[in-house]
Amino acid sequence: MADESVRTTVVQEGPPIWVVLVMVLLGVVALAGLWTGWKGLSYAQDSRQGLSRDIQMMKQGYATDLESLQQRLAQTEKANADLAGDFSAVTKRLRITQGELKKAHDETQQVRDEENQQLAAMGTQVKDQLATKATTDDVKAVSGEVSGVRTDLDSTKKDLQMARSEMGTLIAKNHDDIETLRRLGERDYIEFTLEGKGKSQKVGDITVELRSADPKRNQCNIALVVDDKRTEKRNRTVNEPIFVYAHGARQPMEVVINQVEKNKVAGYLSVPRVKQQATSSSSGG
């Protein structure tokens, strides 16, 4: 009975306190590590998004710069093309001018050759006449004829010394030159004088109006009315021909200013004879 009354009591002891503290500390450290990792991940995501924005902005900037550069390149290419076209036009014009000069030189040489032939023929004729007619009157007559021919030839040589326009016509610089050209009979010449700014004058088939005059530079601005069409010619220098085409005309008329003074200019209009003959024929028909 006594043994039955003895009861065995089992006491279960818990873990030591330091173990609990260690576990709590490890939990806190784990939580701190998780929080730090989450913050790092969030910062990395923000950095990546910021970097993506920066890259996108750089791409947009590069695209804008590239487009601007392409536009500038296109403008440069266009400017180069325009410059090449201008250079080609100038080269072509220079070739035409050289051809006109060569043509004028050839014409001058041809006239000189004709002069020499005329002089040789005249000398032969004079010798023949002197051989057959020994009288003083005949000799004087022949000498006078030779002198007249030489005078005409000297006048022709003087004509050849005048400047020529782009169309090959001789340019008169004063009244004496105009009279010389009138004697050639190839064109008609009408002289005119304009006094006062805005003054106009009917010259042949056209109207000439003085817009302004600059005596220091020998330049003037004039307006021409041809077939009821008005055209202004600016900064025209002295003895510079201005070509004017009338309706239906094959050859141009020429306006040349020989003298520029204050509010005054003087010059002439050159009209081809072919035009007048064509006009007469059409009016007669």
Higher pLDDT, 134 or 246: 246
Confidence of residue 258 (pLDDT cuts 50, 70, 90): very high
Q: Residue 243: beta bridge partners?
A: 254
Highest mean pLDDT among 88-97, 148-157, 232-241: 232-241
pLDDT value at residue 278: 45
Confidence of residue 261 (pLDDT cuts 50, 70, 90): very high
Q: Which residue has the tokens 């040349």?
A: 256
Q: Which residues are within 8 A (CB) of 169 and not within 5 positions of it... i.e. 6 or more apart?
A: 187, 241, 254, 270
pLDDT value at residue 270: 94
**In the numeric block, which tokens belong to residue 220?**
């003037």
Confidence of residue 283 (pLDDT cuts 50, 70, 90): very low
What is the tens place of the pLDDT at every residue in 22-61? 888 888 888 888 888 888 888 888 888 888 888 888 888 8
pLDDT value at residue 2: 47
Residue 174 has pLDDT above 70, yes or no: yes
Higher pLDDT, 201 or 9: 201
Determine contact, residues 210/198, Cβ cutoff 8 Å: yes
How far apart are alpha carbons 230 and 207 in whole angstroms?
9
Determine contact, residues 206/229, Cβ cutoff 8 Å: no
How far apart are alpha carbons 129 and 144 in whole angstroms?
13
Highest mean pLDDT among 6-10, 52-56, 257-261: 257-261
Q: What is the mean pLDDT of residues 190-195?
A: 95
| % of the chain at pLDDT higher than 70 | 75
Q: Which residues are within 8 A (CB) of 164 and not within 5 positions of it... i.e. 6 or more apart?
A: 100, 104, 170, 171
What is the tens place of the pLDDT at every residue in 225-243? 999 999 999 999 999 999 9
Confidence of residue 70 (pLDDT cuts 50, 70, 90): confident
How far apart are alpha carbons 99 and 193 in whole angstroms?
35
How far apart are alpha carbons 59 and 56 in whole angstroms?
5
Listed range (57-61, 97-101, 182-186, 196-200) with the worst mean pLDDT: 97-101
Determine contact, residues 125/117, Cβ cutoff 8 Å: no
pLDDT value at residue 149: 47
